[in-house]
Amino acid sequence: MPFFIQLNYWFDLTPGALSGFFQSVVFGVFAVLIILGIILRIIERRSKADRFAVRLFNSLAQLGIVVGCLGFLFLFFGFEAIPFFGAKFWYLFLGLIFIIRLVWIIVRYFKIAPRARCEEKIRRQREKYLPKKKK
């Protein structure tokens, strides 16, 4: 049985260092997340799209930057062999948080945002005929 399937590999509180290949892969994944977060933040700032698309870019950028930075922090703790914070279960926890948040962002954009767009369009149509406040 491969070592990464065993529970004592993931939940050992005094872990050993990561192997060279696995450490390089984890470093690359977190670096890509941070770079994508920065790129999405730039796109969000320059975007002239509706506020729902801008909110999508903002959420994805925030997710990438936060998960990437936390991943680098856990990678550092693991490299320095700090007993609790260097444990490998933090990678599982971080991956689970990433997946849950990504699913929430996608559901919000494709299920909730269209309804909100429609409501906003109806509200604009209604407010077009209402009197405005005088300045």
Cβ atoms of 16 and 81 closer than 8 Å: yes
Q: Is residue 115 part of a domain?
A: yes
Q: Is residue 102 part of a domain?
A: yes
59: CB partners within 8 A, 6+ apart: 105, 108
Instruction: Say what the pTM is.
Output: 0.77
Q: Which pLDDT score, from 0 to 100, does residue 56 have?
A: 87
For 87, the domain range is 20-127
Mean predicted lDDT score pLDDT of the chain: 83
Q: 3-17, 70-84, 112-126: lowest mean pLDDT where?
A: 3-17
Number of domains in the chain: 1
pLDDT score of 103 more than 90: yes
pLDDT score of 11 more than 80: no
- Beta-carbon neighbour count of residue 67 at 10 Å? 21
Q: Which pLDDT score, from 0 to 100, does residue 7 have?
A: 65
Q: Is residue 132 part of a domain?
A: no
Q: Is residue 54 part of a domain?
A: yes
Interatomic CA distance for residues 62 and 60, integer angstroms: 5
